[in-house]
Amino acid sequence: MKLLRKLPLLYFLLPCSITFAQNNLLDTGTWVEGNGSVNGFNRIGTDAENVREMGIDPFGNNSVLWKAAPDAGNNNDGGWNTPYLSIDETKTYRLSVWIKKTNSNGGQTRFGFQSRDAGNTFTNLRTDGTALNSPYFFNADLPTLDKWYLLVGYVHSSSYTGNEILSGVYDPLTGDKVLDASTDFKFAPGATSIRHRTWLRGTTNTADFQFMFEPALYEINGQQPSIAQLINPDSGNPGGTSAWTTMGNDIYYATGNVAIGTNNTPNGFRVAIDGKLITEEVLVQPSGSWPDYVFKASYDLPTLGEVENHIKEKGHLINIPSAKEVEKNGIQLGEMNKLLLEKIEQLTLYVIQLKKENDHQQRTIEKLLNEYKSLEKR
């Protein structure tokens, strides 16, 4: 079934709200000025050590930054764990975050992840198969103080057998990788979820700050932004990773699926919307036969007795899904309209039958009345 929608506002909405074919699985739209945790980011350290404040981001804009502001204790000094997000262990994922350290190299900048299976057992492996509970792509000092760097880490599929190190630290001025990570990682079989982790650890110098910006998590599927685009979002679309193509006043996307308000498109569907949709008109072009077959002489119309028995036994009309089925699977507009029309056409036949029976009964009544009147005259 093809579903065509007239959405006159879509052209104006999409170019400004969607830059890449795939959305970041982390939502930093919850970042507002304040302290402690926010939705999607659970603080590491105390509320006072986790500060969100306005500052200059890596692109020279005034944005909300997450600042690790350590106290005098030698412990966790600010940052976050995200909640666990669903993943496919057969796919590779890329994590990233912008970090700037100021004042001194006290403590360690930590950037890592954790993955789990359905039983909440850790599924973190080095690419050589070594298991560990707290994997870090980076756990050291950045190359230079008072400068933004892009930290990138890769978690490969559970079947990965390579040993190339893709993870590392990038200099935004040159676009080059200036530090390699010690290793990439991969999922153990059975992995179902992952979380992003970034924080400052182990400094007692209260003048040391670590600023963090724009954490990201992407599935590597050809639709993710390139490293060059993360470093410079206005650099165009190297590598063909642009999601949308414009042609005159039209915009289209022909290579994948679209998710709005969610990060998942169910198998077999091209568009998934978690929320309400308003549109002027919906045109459905269903496949298969239309219910005019009800009017064919060969059609076996259920008797009203059969319909009544089905309702008593099943609690719904013949061929119409039950309330439980609809709650579980939803409804397909084209198929449901087809079934409803089938019922309307069946009702039409029942009405025609009843009209014939009524006409026959009326003629019988009139005949009997005439015979009665004739008897009265005798």
**Hey, where are the domains in the chain?**
19-243, 291-377
pLDDT for the residue numbered 254: 67
pLDDT for the residue numbered 136: 96
What does the DSSP assignment read for 311-352? Answer: HHHHSS-TTSPPHHHHHHH---HHHHHHHHHHHHHHHHHHHH
Q: What gap in Å lies between CA 2 and CA 283, rounded to an integer?
A: 9
Tokens representing 242 are: 């642009």
pLDDT tens for each residue of 202-240: 999 999 999 999 999 999 998 899 999 999 887 544 444
Place of tokens 């105390």: 46
CB 211 within 8 A of CB 31: no
pLDDT for the residue numbered 36: 96
Tokens representing 193 are: 């979820």
Q: Which CATH architecture has domain 19-243?
A: Sandwich (2.60)
Q: How far is CA 151 from CA 41, 56, 90, 112, 148, in A?
A: 18, 18, 24, 10, 10
CB 185 within 8 A of CB 155: yes
pLDDT for the residue numbered 261: 81
Q: How many residues appear in the chain?
A: 378
Tokens representing 191 are: 């992995």
| Consecutive H or E run containing 216 | strand 209-219
CB within 8 Å of 307: residues ≥ 6 apart: 317, 318
Q: What gap in Å lies between CA 242 and CA 353, rounded to an integer?
A: 61
pLDDT for the residue numbered 248: 61
| Consecutive H or E run containing 357 | helix 333-377
Intra-chain end-to-end CA distance of the chain, in Å:
72
pLDDT tens for each residue of 234-251: 754 444 445 666 666 677
Q: Which of 173, 170, 175 is nearest to 143 (CA)?
A: 170
pLDDT for the residue numbered 260: 85
Q: Whole-prediction pTM value?
A: 0.60
CB 62 within 8 A of CB 55: yes
Regions of the chain short of the pLDDT cut 50: 1-19, 236-241
Tokens representing 63 are: 């944005």
